[in-house]
Structure 1
Amino acid sequence: MLPRETLATADVPDGETLTLVSHGRDFIIMLGRDELMGTRMQYSEEQLAVLTLAELRADRPRVLIGGYGMGFTYRAALDKIPDGGSVTVAEIVPEILEWAEGPLAHLTGESLADPRGEVVICDVAALIDDANDGTTAKYDAILLDVDNGPDGIVRDANYRIYSKTGLAKARDALRPGGILAVWSAAPDHKFTVRLKESGFDVEVREVRARPNNKGPRHTIWFARKP
């Protein structure tokens, strides 16, 4: 059995410690003993962007992503964004970008230099709040992959994002017809109800972790603002 090698660690603000490990040719980001993400199972995180952009009606969509991670969602969004569109990622752990430019550079490619995108070191909730001040342009899509889902919170401050207050903020930050898409490691019926009560039209899809229709089943909510 191949051993896991620890490459780096980083502290989540007001949270626990992330560990980047290698396992043969694969890379994994761990939170304690739990795997948050890895290169063997990235398909559902890519589909978070691919499926959302396929449903957008905007000609030049402005997309906000909560969480860079290993960049799966970000790179998929850049690959599918139409001409004139833009993608902003909010990431709260600066070391994540150091990993992207270091041990994970072969995954990152030229994405961090792509003029259509930018990565901002901040809480995604702050950018959502800024879009509610009446002066910042609204988003056509907000993609959230900041935890293991609404029922798998990694950082206590993120509870607000999934609350009725946070969902109302996200709804107001979206243009009409815009989509809030939320990734989760597991289904959560209560969150589906909360989205509907927050004024969204909701579709829930199950997506495999691997493109060969294998691996764990993950949940993505697509909540459209009427």
Structure 2
Amino acid sequence: MAVNPWILLDTAKVPGGEGDLRLLRRGSEYSIMAGSTSLMNSRMSGSEEALATLSWARIASQPRPHMLIGGLGMGFTLRAAQAILPPDARITVAELVPAVVAWARGPMAEVHGESLSDPRLIIREADVGRLLDDENRYDAILLDVDNGPEGLTRDSNDGLYTARGLRRALRALRAGGVLAVWSSHTSAPFTKRLVAAGFKVEEERVRSRGSKGGERHHIWLASKPRVPQIPAKPPAA
């Protein structure tokens, strides 16, 4: 039986000199690779979509919600968010690699459809970490960059998952907002860092192909308390 081969459509440099991305196609299937690591595949969208739906379930009562999505990729998280967010919502997508946005409008236009023409959407060609400096700006911050807090293909992504990076995310969220982090696997140290930063943490295991099964991926849903937490007083001497 003949094997349908992968065809290389394009390559792109990652800003900062941290390697290349490759866009490949096999029939109607697309893949984005970094070296030998598969970052995303068009046949596996369930966990990326869950990143949006699980986040929305926690901020649905927020008026005029503003969602920040770190990483455009193949647009699964974006399109899931667009399907459920209200007309007055705002969606900001931060994509570090300009070619990924160009692929969405070019060779992968059939995957992205009309999603990039949504009037609620702003695309920023920038590192998502650069968008976390404004206090109380977002109701949800969704991070789907790299393969999670301990599956890095780009060293500078590490700053998003450090104690300092998590404190910046906490400040950038409005009260009651949620930081949602996608990962290919779990990480107990990362859970501890989220709690130490001041988040209330939930964890979900989701299938890479949704109801069709596939690998299990991990999502942290870290909520910012609506009432500031008061540190406990040390016991009297």
- TM-score, L = length of structure 1: 0.95
CA deviation profile, 1:101-130 (whole Å, cap 9, x unmatched): 11110111111111001111111111112x
Partner of 2:180: 181
Deviation at 1:212, TM superposition (A): 2.7
List gaps (5 residues or longer) in structure 2.
226-237
The one of 42, 49, 56 equivalent to 2:52 is 49
Amino acid at match of 1:29: I
Maintained 8 Å contact 1:67/1:90 = yes
CA distance in 2 between partners of 1:86 and 1:181 (Å): 17
Amino acid at match of 1:206: R
Partner of 1:208: 207
CA distance in 1 between partners of 2:211 and 2:64 (Å): 32
Deviation at 1:213, TM superposition (A): 4.3
Partner of 1:10: 12
Moved over 4 A (4+): none
Partner of 1:77: 81
Maintained 8 Å contact 1:138/1:175 = yes
Match status 1:223 vs 2:222 = yes
Partner of 2:234: none
Superposition RMSD on alpha carbons, in Å?
1.0
CA distance in 2 between partners of 1:213 and 1:109 (Å): 23
Match status 1:94 vs 2:98 = yes
- TM-score, L = length of structure 2: 0.91
The aligned runs of 1:60-71 (5 Å cut-off) are 60-71=64-75
CA distance in 1 between partners of 2:27 and 2:114 (Å): 24
Give the match's secondary structure for 1:89. strand
CA deviation profile, 1:186-217 (whole Å, cap 9, x unmatched): 11111011100110000000000012341110
CA distance in 1 between partners of 2:185 and 2:85 (Å): 27
What is the aligned residue count?
A: 221
The aligned runs of 1:13-162 (5 Å cut-off) are 13-14=15-16, 15-56=18-59, 57-129=61-133, 131-132=134-135, 138-162=137-161
CA distance in 2 between partners of 1:96 and 1:225 (Å): 31
Maintained 8 Å contact 1:182/1:222 = yes
Amino acid at match of 1:79: A
Give the match's secondary structure for 2:68. strand
Amino acid at match of 1:50: T
Amino acid at match of 1:16: G
Give the match's secondary structure for 2:213. coil
Maintained 8 Å contact 1:67/1:144 = yes
List gaps (5 residues or longer) in structure 1.
none
Deviation at 1:152, TM superposition (A): 0.9
Deviation at 1:78, TM superposition (A): 1.1
Report % sequence identity: 49
CA distance in 2 between partners of 1:59 and 1:213 (Å): 34
CA distance in 2 between partners of 1:116 and 1:175 (Å): 19
Give the match's secondary structure for 2:4. coil
CA distance in 2 between partners of 1:118 and 1:78 (Å): 12
Give the match's secondary structure for 2:211. coil
CA distance in 2 between partners of 1:148 and 1:87 (Å): 22
CA distance in 2 between partners of 1:106 and 1:25 (Å): 10
CA distance in 2 between partners of 1:211 and 1:151 (Å): 23
CA distance in 1 between partners of 2:159 and 2:95 (Å): 17
Amino acid at match of 1:66: G
CA distance in 1 between partners of 2:102 and 2:5 (Å): 24
Maintained 8 Å contact 1:59/1:82 = no
Give the match's secondary structure for 2:210. coil
